[in-house]
Chain A
């Protein structure tokens, strides 16, 4: 057992540049994927929620546009969420991106963003459904449009309530970005494969790899925990409110 750990440490020391390089790529993929995916999710989730509410003075054209948005976003979510990212990556990389001269990392970021976006859209939509209907009624009653209401009132609150699920997505992305190694992106898993192949110390390499992933995901969860606390404390902390203190 001790020898095994010793061999792992040796590996880590000898190949630390490769590992660090891999970590860098993995972090970029996970962060870009989660951030861009969140943006996509906010837009798609918001659009989906709006396209489902019919308004009394919608013109025929608006109704058609809403229907199209509803169908297109539904197809996007169903297809992207319903097929493996690894297969999407393979297909798009060898079928298009490589031939078009794309940088592998850029293509990888795009694919992981589009993937995360599909999940985020549903996360945001459920966040939107969790916001009291009165919030949008209040906004509509002073004359804000459906999209203004969504953007200024509903989405910010839905986003805040969705933070735990968004952190989940970040952690999933740190781990699952490893499937993009099929696109020749030299991320952590790709590097580990190379090292395992060269040294033939397969168990040691992959155990080390697990530990590295675990460290990264734990670190991400911890950091996001701090961010979440900050956000929740800044606004609407009922019990620290002076109103309560004065009133009771």
Chain B
């Protein structure tokens, strides 16, 4: 099977602190991979390295077989979608403009076509009726759905989700997760950093557990959640179970 993302020996430090240490990791086409772990375990940094929002210190990263260091960085980024914890919609644009801008400026689509595509994806995330609203007027869950549509509009091969629901309240979390579930079922390749264990369990094909900048354990969710092999994962899951029962 073709690897959409392939990471080899990735390392990254902030100052003297090692954030990522010899990470090796692949994502196949159509796969949904969730990355779990404590805050500060390097999950987000790894994700951000894939489209070079953070610059790795060492290692190689391939997207669709091409090294991310070769060729045009902007073209590379347009092929990898990114959804952020803080949404990062363009505050000076409407919902529709948010989805059209990249298509016109980066993919050089003509405006008519771009608008049509934007409406199509806004419908998919249930936000088409808000198309003409300034993006600052939306609620968090709505913003995140628009952010997902903005990535879809770029026809990316893979979308990276960096804690997409961490800034949302428990009720709006579901409206975003439902959209993500739908996309997963349609076969979109997704890498999701999340604290939503239910999503990791039910939706993902593979779960990766990170601690202190290394991948400690990975595998199918039923195997990982039911029968964790390492102490650190058992502790981590134990804390989550306690939270739920408490």
Contacts and interface: CB of A to CB of B under 8 A. Distances in A.
Interface of A: 55-57, 132, 134-135, 137-145, 148, 152-153, 156-157, 160, 235-238, 241-244, 247
Contacts of B81: 141-142
Given A56-B69, A138-B88, A142-B150, A238 B137 contact: yes
A135 B151 CA distance: 15
Interface stretch (B30-38, B51-59, B188-196, B197-205): B51-59
Interface of B: 51-53, 55, 69, 73-82, 84, 86-93, 101-102, 105-106, 130, 133-134, 136-139, 142, 147, 150-151, 154
A143 B75 contact: yes
Given A135-B91, A140-B77, A56 B133 contact: no
A134 B137 contact: no
A137 to B, nearest CB: 6
Q: Which 8 A-B pairs have the closest CB atoms?
A: A143-B78, A138-B88, A142-B102, A236-B136, A241-B137, A141-B82, A134-B88, A143-B106
Contacts of B55: 56
Contacts of B133: 241, 243
B78 A134 contact: no
Contacts, number: 94
A142 B151 contact: yes
A144 B88 CA distance: 14
Contacts of A138: 82, 84, 87-90, 147
Contact of A152 (B77, B91, B101): B101
A150 B215 CA distance: 37
B136 A153 contact: no
A247 B75 CA distance: 39
A153 B84 contact: no
A158 to B, nearest CB: 10
A180 to B, nearest CB: 36
A56 to B, nearest CB: 5
Nearest to A236: B136
Contact of A153 (B92, B134, B151): B92
Contacts of B77: 140-143
Given A55-B73, A134-B87, A141-B77, 7 more contacts: A132-B86, A134-B88, A137-B84, A138-B89, A142-B101, A143-B102, A148-B105
Contacts of B130: 243
Given A56-B55, A142-B77, A142-B150, A156 B137 contact: no
Contact of A235 (B76, B106, B134, B150): B134
A11 to B, nearest CB: 50
Contacts of B139: 243, 247
